[in-house]
Structures are given as C-alpha cells and as structure tokens.
Amino acid sequence: MSDTPRNTAEYEQALGSADAQLAEFEGPKRTLLGHVQHFLHSHPTMVPVIVLALSLVVFGILAGERFFTPFNLSLILQQVSIIGILAAAQSLIILTAGIDLSVAAIMVLMSVVSGKLAITLGVPPSLAIMASFTLGTLAGMLNGLLVTRLRLPPFIVTLGTWNIFFALSLWLSGAQSIRSQDIDQMAPLLKFFGNSFRVGGANITYGSILMVLVFATLWYLLNKTAWGRHVYAVGDDKDAAELAGIRTDRMLISVYALAGFICALAAWASIGRVGSISPQSFYEGNLQSITAVVIGGISLFGGRGSIMGALFGALIVGVFQSGLRLAGVDVLWQVFAIGWLIIIAVAIDQWIRKVSA
Amino acid sequence: MTQEPILKARGLVKRYGRVTALDHCDFDLMPGEILAVIGDNGAGKSSLIKALSGAVTVDEGEITLEGQRISFTSPLQAREAGIETVYQTLALSPALSIVENMFIGRELRKPGPLGQWLRMLDMPAMQQFARTKLNDLGLMTIQNINQPVETLSGGQRQGVAVARAAAFGSRVVILDEPTAALGVKESRKVLELILDVRSRGIPIVLISHNMPHVFEVADRIHVHRLGKRLCVIDPKEHSMSDAVAYMTGAKRPEAA
C-alpha cells in the first residue's frame, strides 16, 4: 500500500531551476529624505538631540545673549532636574509598554513622609530619608502587583494610586506645608540636593548632578545587563518574552518598584529644589514626566527608545520654557509650544517607524 | 525496538471544563529520531505539546524524561530540564538583536567583579557563541548578528528560533508548525535545518499539517485523534492518504 512515500519532495524538484533572483525592493536611488529617515531609524536618540541643538540655536538668537550665559544654562538644568528624575522613572514603565500616572504622587507623598518624620516627629533625618526610600519602593511595588496580579491596565492602576497617594499626602500633612526655615533648623539634610557649587558662572546644584547620575545608572542597567534587555523584551512582546523564559510578572514588579525608588530619590531632591514641603506641589508632574519621555522619542507602545531620550526630552522642555520666557513670551504660549512639541515628536516617531529596514 | 524512549508519556488526561482535550494519551519519543505528530484540528495536538513543554499541567498521567519522572509547572522548568520548544509564534522579541534573542533568559555575564557585582553582560562571548551556532546550522547568510530580528525574513527568524532551541545542550526539541507561515524555498531551508539538528543526535518532535514535509523528514508518525494516540505509523510503509484517513477517522488502523 505504499506509493513511494520518500519521494514526496518531487513536486519541489522544479526548485532547482527556479529563478534565483529575489525580488528587490530597494530602488537604485534613495531620496535625501529617505536617507534621513533611515539614519534616524538606526539612531533613535538623534531626534531629541537634533531638536535640542536646534532649539538652543533658535532661542540663542531669539532671546539674545542672556540665554547662553553659563548661569542661565545651569538654571535650566536645575529647573528640569525634578521632572527629569521623574521622567527617568516614567521611561522604565513606558519601556514595558505601561504608563505611570502616579510618579509625581509617589514623590510628593515621600517628601511629605520624610518631612513628617524628621520635622514633626523628630526622627533623625537620615532615618526619615531611608524610610521614604523604602516606602517609595513599596508604593511602586504596589503598582506593579496590581498590574501583574490583578491584570489591570497600568493606566487604570496608576490613575487610582495617583489619587490614593495624593489623598494620603494631604492626610499625613494635614494639608499643611512645612516651612523652609523649619527644615533648615531641624533637618538640613533633607535639603542636601539644593546645595550647589560654582563652575565659572554656572551654578550647579547637587540635584542636577543627581539627575545625570540617575540617567547614567539606568542607561547602564538597560543596555549592559540582562535585566535591562528583559525590560525591552517584555515591552516589545510580553507573550514572546514569557515563552522565551522570562518571568515577566517578576520583571514588571521589579520595574515598578525601581520606578518607585527613583520617585523617592526625586522626593529628596525636590525638597532641596523647592525649599519647603507641600502636599499640593507638582500636581502636574505626572503628565510633565510623560511629556519629557514622549518628546525624547520613547515609544508609548513599549520596547523602543533610549532612556537618554527622556533626559533630552526634559531638557528640550526646559530650553523652550527658558527661551520663551527670556524672549518675553507669555507663559500661556510656553504651554502652547510644548503642546505642539508633543504632537510633532510623536508624529516624527511614527514616520521613522515606517521605514523599511 | 529495545531502546528506551527518551521522552515518554502514559495516560495523560487534561480537561478544560467539560471538554476533554487529552483522553489517556500515550506518547513516545525515541533517541535521535524525528517524530511527527499529526492530527486534525481539535484532536488535542497542541494540548499534548503544551503538556510536554510545561505550558499546561495535566490532570492525570505521567511524563518521564530519560526515565526520570517529571512534572513541569512552567515552560521554564521544561527548558531547564532540556526540553526546548519552538512555538509557532517563535517567541522572539522583534526589536532585540539576533544575539540577544538567542540568549534571552540565559545571558552570559562578564567574568570577575564586572559580571558579579555590576552584572555586566559579556557581549563579545555571546556574539562569538551565537556566530558559531548559526554557522553550524548553515545560517550564516545572516550577515550581522546584531541586527534586530524584525529585519529578518520569516525563514531567517525561524532559523534563529531553531538555533536558539538547538544551541543550549538540549535533549529534546519540539517544533510547532515550523513551516506553516513560510514559502516553498524557506520551508526547504527549515527542513534541512531540522535534519541537521537530528544529525547532531537531538531528537525532534515535529507538529505539522504539511503531509509532504512530514513524510519527508519524519522517522515515525504519531497520529493523534480524539485526544489520544490513534497509532504510530512508519512513513516508509504508509502513504499520505493513509495518514490522512487515520487522522480524520475515515479508516481504522489494522490491529493496534
């Protein structure tokens, strides 16, 4: 009953004489625009870098000499440092294809916690800061647990925890601010990151240095360690990552916990930056951090983009605000400009994505 | 046959509510062979494969690997035991490079404090290893192993997934519909790759709907029907139409 089963590939024999020429899609000439598109596709951080360079040039011309003083440039660095650190935490979450609406809420809550402990309850400031680190990590972990265990969308989870953490901040502080003088008197350590040193005319705060260090550390973790590559893999395709042997839930929880820890760092830095501790501060910080990440070219769909993009994104926002202010433009037009910047950044990102590799 | 099966299952039962996906199913994979698993849609092939690869836990029955009783609760455990599965979806991360995909979940770290304390990846060593493995399998038409997987063709991606499965001293490789999404030429490459993996002594479980491919490469064919093994046939003694007839119930095998 056998009819030559081993020759089943017979029908493929024509393959030997098949046309070896494969279809070629690449035309002989690529337009200049095509070259640009290809270059940007293989160097994704170049977009925010170019935008940053261009905006520096444009505002240098518009705002005149005052813009390019070392003092003003270091001031921009100071101004973006808190949102920058939050954007670093936000980038981690967005790389996993999530979004964290609670970063600023965790930060504010942690600044309130350390203020309450150190000023109101008289706990040694170093212990108060350690406590805020621990609680910040736990707050991030709570987000992670809700996302992974209850399988809720990160948007919903963090929308909820944003409100919860905000309410807790109000409750803990009794809706009262802690005055700058009280901090100076009782726990100057809380203001550590507000200290600064001078280089030429520039005034560099420790908070600015902290921001750069946070980004450098995360860059290393994301690019040079297995953990970092797994962050990208999970954001890229969670099911594939799971099948490939990554414990995606544990990975996600660790990402949210690290983001929470970074928010606690931002909390410490924010006390130095603002001077006082207020539960009402940084109410727009969540969205500002997302703005920086998006302008930095990190995809909201996860798995693509460089952490350094978020740093450049935060700096671009800072340069726009400073430049427009120095050029004498009303604040409302600064907001207007940032709005267009977001839309243009995402449009450019989509355009680069379309490149045929 | 006096040889012991390397991977053996007896009386596997898996129920999903009122549906019985596996109904006292048996399974045997001999060392060094290519065993094809065929069956109509809904026959329970994928449940069987998921049971073997740890993706589902069976309700009853036992699985042994080289005589050792095993019970996996996750694909990770199966992989650690040496059962590698190439899923139909391939489980590759498109934006990561070929090297990163090959090593995902078992990256190499640099020796010394850089690796131990700073957890730094040893990219040169991983690239070297990946290059060797892809070379062994004749896949070095891929020029740049640092290019993202999304830039590869379907056949090349399959190649990377198979190379990943075969590269890490695995004892059994399970391939789920490896040629389903490929063109004629690419399918041919993948079949050669499968034979190549076998020639390294690694036994393969091949799930496929493509009868010509199954009959070409398989040493034995496990026909799955209604949640259990209907029969095992020798492709040299049976025709494709026999196989299809068994699979669909149009014909019953002579004395089991």
Q: Do A303 and B93 touch (CB under 8 A)?
A: yes
Residues of chain A contacting residue B210, judged by C-beta atoms under 8 Å apart: none
Both tokens assigned to B235: 């492709």
Judged by a CB distance cut-off of 8 A, whether residue A44 touches chain B is: no
Exposure letters B147-165 (e unless 16+ CB within 10 A, then b): ebbeebeebbbbbbbbbbb
The answer for residues whose C-beta is within 8 angstroms of residue B132's C-beta and 6 or more apart is: none
Range list of β-strands (E), chain A = 196-199, 202-205
Is residue A16 in some structural domain? no
What's the burial of B237, exposed, middle or buried (CB within 10 Å: 0-12/13-18/19+)? Answer: exposed
Indicate the pLDDT class of residue A1, thresholds 50, 70 and 90.
very low
Amino acid at site A36: V
Determine the distance in angstroms separating the CA of B170 from the nearest CA of chain A, rounded to an integer. Answer: 14
Q: Is residue A305 part of a domain?
A: yes
> Which B residues 7-46 touch A at CB under 8 Å?
none
Give the separation between CA A240 and CA B34, rounded to whole angstroms: 26
Asked if A328 is an interface residue toward chain B (Cβ–Cβ < 8 A), one would say no
Q: Which domain holds residue A308?
A: 45-352
Q: Is A190 exposed, middle or buried (0-12, 13-18, 19+ CB in 10 A)?
A: buried
Q: What is the pLDDT of residues A335-356, one digit of tens each?
A: 898 899 889 888 887 887 776 5
Residues sharing a CB contact under 8 Å with residue A19, sequence separation 6 or more, in sequence order: none
How close A334 gets to chain B, by Cα (Å)?
Answer: 35
Q: Report domain extents, chain B.
A: 32-59+71-95+148-248
Residue A2 lies in a domain: no
Residues 150-189 of B with CB under 8 A from A: 150-151, 184-185, 188
Per-residue confidence band for A4, with pLDDT thresholds at 50, 70 and 90: very low
CA-nearest residue of chain A to B84? A244
- Looking from the CA of A353 toward its CB, the CA atoms found within 13 Å total 15
CB-based contact, A238 to chain B, within 8 Å: no
Which residue of B120, B184, B238 is in closest CB contact with A15?
Answer: B184
What total number of domains does chain A contain?
1
Q: Which residues pair with B64 in a beta bridge?
A: B8, B69
Question: Which range has the worst mean pLDDT, A9-23, A102-116, A185-199?
Answer: A9-23
Question: How confident is the model at residue A13, as a pLDDT?
Answer: 64
pLDDT 10s digits, A78-105:
999 999 999 999 999 999 999 999 999 9
Q: How far is CA A285 from CA A113, A162, B225, in A?
A: 18, 11, 59
pLDDT of the residue at A2: 41
How do residues A230-240 score in pLDDT, each as one tens digit? 999 999 999 88
CATH of the domain at A305: 1.10.3470
Q: Which helix (H) or strand (E) holds A357?
A: none
Q: Six-digit token pair at A168?
A: 């807790």
Q: How far out from the chain centre does Cα B226 lie?
A: 22
Sheet holding B172-176: strands in order across?
Answer: B83-86, B172-176, B204-207, B34-39, B220-225, B228-233
Question: CB within 8 A of B2, min separation 6: which ones?
Answer: none
Q: How many CA atoms lie within 13 A of B7 on its CB side?
A: 26
Split at pLDDT 50, 70, 90, the class of A14 is: low
Q: Count of H helices and E strands in chain B?
A: 9, 10
The CATH code of domain B32-59+71-95+148-248 reads: 3.40.50.300
Distance separating alpha carbons of residues A136 and A142, to the nearest angstrom: 10
Residue range A204-208: average pLDDT? 94
pLDDT at residue A218, as a whole number: 97
Maximum average pLDDT range among A107-111, A193-197, B72-76, B187-191: A107-111
Alpha helices, DSSP H, located in chain B: 45-52, 75-80, 98-103, 113-116, 123-136, 154-167, 184-199, 211-217, 240-248
